[in-house]
């Protein structure tokens, strides 16, 4: 799919990857970039910059997502590309409070579910549409120090796979974004070497990878290409991969 002349929605658009996506889609000639975020002031600033429109949306609430979709479809036209990008990270393991687990589950997983719940029927009826779901390399590998992040990002990848399999014959294309460390608020304060074994990249590089993948209709978007080799190692010898991850954990956590 070419973004030019398309209506595009980006959640989490006030900063980081979402802001970079909004800017890049506008530069690609999108007909309208719909910017969504909980940060009302921030998302309005981005929307004004790219000539789009803003919604103050809490993606942990299905009603907010539905309201945005219904409003755009009724007042602006059919949504061609929906980027379910908003996400959060928390630390800890199984001991993390239930409230924290539920919040990260709602934002990192259920927001994708709710977007698909309301977009897939519309796109299927039109015979085309595109869903871009932001996950993480943690969803393909794991995340040192955060079970909630690793688990929810694995779920996000699994949902994207299922959507691509189930709805591909209806003209709906799906991509899942799985970067390692990106220079955003989530990684602020982390030295490059600690944040990612392969270094930190800028949100603009992620947006570039997304545009190219959407054009090619590639499912898996890996701004850090090294992740593909890690996936191969994991699949080839799970025990060795687990041992390697334990070594990495000792390196960074002592």
How confident is the model over 117-176, as pLDDT tens digits?
999 999 999 999 999 999 999 999 999 999 999 999 999 999 999 999 999 999 999 999
pLDDT (tens digit per residue) in 106-117: 999 999 999 999
List the Cα angle 162/166/168 in 5-degree steps: 110
Q: What is the mean pLDDT of the chain?
A: 94
- pLDDT exceeding 70 applies to what percent of the chain? 94
Catalytic residue, chosen from 149, 230, 238, 252, is 149
Taking the C-alpha atoms of residue 200 and residue 192, their distance in angstroms, rounded to an integer, is 6
Give the residues across from 9 on adjacent strands: 34, 82
Distance (Å, whole) CA 18 – CA 5: 19
Q: Exposed/middle/buried for 119, CB within 10 Å: 0-12, 13-18, 19+? A: buried
How far is it, in rounded angstroms, from Cα 14 to Cα 4? 22
The rounded radius of gyration (Å) of the Cα atoms in the chain is 18
* Confidence at 188, pLDDT banded by 50, 70, 90: low
pLDDT at 18: 96
Residue corresponding to tokens 């959640």: 11
Report pLDDT for 195: 46
Residue 149 annotated among the catalytic residues of the structure: yes
Mind listing the domains of the chain with CATH numbers?
A: 7-225 (3.40.50.720)
Residue 63's beta-bridge partner residues?
Answer: none
């Amino acid at each position: 799919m070419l973004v030019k002349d398309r209506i595009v929605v980006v959640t989490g658009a006030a900063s980081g990857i979402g802001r970079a996506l909004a800017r890049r889609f506008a530069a690609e000639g999108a007909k309208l970039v719909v910017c969504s975020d909980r940060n009302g002031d921030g998302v309005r600033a981005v929307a004004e910059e790219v000539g789009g429109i803003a919604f103050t949306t809490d993606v942990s609430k299905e009603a907010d997502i539905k309201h945005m979709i219904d409003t755009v479809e009724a007042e602006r036209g059919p949504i061609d590309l929906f980027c379910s990008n908003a996400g959060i990270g928390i630390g800890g393991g199984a001991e993390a409070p239930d409230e924290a687990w539920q919040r990260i589950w709602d934002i990192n997983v259920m927001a994708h579910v709710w977007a698909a719940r309301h977009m897939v029927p519309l796109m299927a009826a039109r015979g085309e549409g595109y869903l871009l779901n932001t996950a993480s390399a943690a969803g393909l590998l794991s995340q040192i120090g955060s079970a909630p992040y690793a688990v929810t990002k694995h779920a996000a990848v699994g949902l994207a796979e299922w959507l691509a399999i189930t709805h591909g014959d209806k003209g709906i294309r799906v991509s899942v974004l799985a970067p390692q460390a990106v220079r955003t608020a989530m990684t602020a304060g982390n030295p490059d070497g600690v944040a990612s074994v392969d270094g930190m990249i800028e949100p603009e590089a992620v947006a570039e990878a997304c545009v190219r993948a959407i054009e090619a209709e590639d499912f898996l978007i890996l701004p850090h290409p090294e992740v593909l080799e890690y996936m191969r190692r994991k699949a080839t010898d799970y025990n060795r991969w687990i041992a390697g991850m334990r070594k990495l954990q000792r390196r960074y956590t002592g």
